[in-house]
Structure 1
């Protein structure tokens, strides 16, 4: 493999990972807007920003790494990136990082 081909693959991999990070930020945007702008009774949900944004961005980057590794047939790297993605998803679920403000509950809740 020559240097140009290797350089092209490296740049393409970086672009895929960057696109994954941007996709993660875009996926976070509705939650961030909901938690920061229209919080319950004017209260802002800062955990949406401090936990949700990094988890979604890193998750998008891990997904990009997984795809780039799979495209390059690097199975161990793909497995490692998929493991990181699963760990981020577990962290997000455990700490409920995309939880918005509590919903108003009527009688009988």
Structure 2
């Protein structure tokens, strides 16, 4: 139940980014990478965070460490691919 709650929390955290990327992208263009990369990363991150916290509360340090490593990997993946960013701005030489 904790993993399901974490997954739902991850989806709810993703929703504002998904709405903006899919329906209100730059110049009306949909940014589907927000759906294909952002939603799974946020959902799996929520699940991993829930499992980590639950394991810590129960005192299962090895399980918490494993889930924490997974959570760290997901954060690194999300930051590296910039999964919640909007579409890039095309700027000429000068201020945007």
TM beyond 0.5: yes
Give the RMSD, CA atoms, in angstroms: 1.5
Structure 2 CA distance, aligned partners of 1:86 and 1:101? 25
By how many angstroms is 1:52 displaced? 0.1
TM-score by length of 1: 0.81
1:10-33 CA-partner distances (Å, limit 9, x unpaired): xxxxx1111110000000000000
Residue 104 of structure 1 and its aligned partner are, at CA, apart by 7.2
Instruction: Check if 1:95 corresponds to 2:78.
Output: no
Q: Deviations over 1:56-89 (max 9, x none)?
A: 0000000000011111110000000000000000
CA distance in 1, matches of 2:92, 2:45: 36
Q: Aligned pair count?
A: 95
Unmatched 5+ residue regions in structure 2? none
> Structure 1 runs of 4+ off > 6 angstroms?
none
1:57 equivalent in alignment to 2:72: no
Unaligned runs of 5+ in 1: 1-14
